[in-house]
Chain A
Amino acid sequence: QVQLQESGPGLVKPSETLSLTCNVSGGSISTFHWTWIRQPPGKGLEWIGYIYYSGSTNYNPSLKSRVTISVDTSKNQFSLNLNSVTAADTAVYYCARLDNSGWNYFEYWGQGTLVTVSS
């Protein structure tokens, strides 16, 4: 059973960079797309972007100028960097695996980690 676990600081100062890592266990990171999704408190879900194990990426245009997703296949993990954060970036951040059947659903999810942007 594939398991994902997010890690990183729970508090980030405004204008700084939010950095999170997702560790994948129970399966190889290879041959799948890996994604980040966020959910502001009490609100809906926003897709941030995904990375293929080979390194190719696709970002949400609303965040594209501030987002970088990278992958480390040797460690079976992938990461999110979001720069120039504001209070609007406060959210629970989830990592997830995109299915590889072509239907593009988020099949496995991490438990999520709350990141608060505040000075």
Chain B
Amino acid sequence: DIQMTQSPSSLSASVGDRVTITCRASQYISTYLNWYQQKPGKAPKFLIYAASTLQSGVPSRFSGSGSGTDFTLTISSLEPEDYATYFCQQSYSAPYTFGQGTKLEIK
């Protein structure tokens, strides 16, 4: 199985801050990397696919980059509604696997 490792596991930031979350794959996955946002008690919401393509309706302050094994999710200017847990997911090969999550908290 391909292991996905996110860092940091948790992060405190203020509204307006620029935030970057990193996701590393244990082997090459090209750009088969997706990002999700999950708020407490809710299902994950799909944000980005193919490492950098925003799902329709996702605010442009979200961006993704990377290829191969190293990827990042960046929020350019935090809004109050962005406080959540973020997961990366590799879709290069089954079994599809997720990172352990990064919890973004209010500073």
Contact = CB atoms under 8 A, between A and B. Distances in A.
A94 interface: yes
Contacts of A11: none
Given A94-B43, A103-B50, A109-B43, A47 B32 contact: no
Contact of A104 (B96, B98, B99, B100): B96
A4 to B, nearest CB: 9
Contacts of A105: 34, 46, 49, 89, 91
Interface stretch (A23-31, A57-65, A70-78): A57-65
B50 A106 contact: no
B66 interface: no
Among A47, A61, A108, find the residue whose CB has the most chain B CB atoms closer than 10 A.
A47
**Which of B43, B91, B100 is the most central at the interface, judged by chain A CB atoms within 10 Å of its CB?**
B43
A61 B91 CA distance: 16
Nearest to A95: B43
Interface string A79-119: 00000000000000010000100011111111110000000
A47 B98 contact: yes
Interface string B69-100: 00000000000000000010101001111111
A42 B89 CA distance: 18
Interface in A19-60: 44-47, 58, 60
A61 B2 CA distance: 13
A41 to B, nearest CB: 11
A106 B94 contact: no
A112 B91 CA distance: 21
A112 B40 CA distance: 12
A98 B44 CA distance: 14
A38 B97 CA distance: 12
Given A103-B32, A104-B91, A105-B89, A44 B99 contact: yes
Given A58-B94, A103-B50, A44 B34 contact: no
Interface of A: 44-47, 58, 60-62, 94, 99, 103-112
Which 7 interchain pairs have the tightest Cβ spacing?
A104-B91, A109-B43, A105-B34, A60-B95, A45-B98, A105-B49, A47-B96
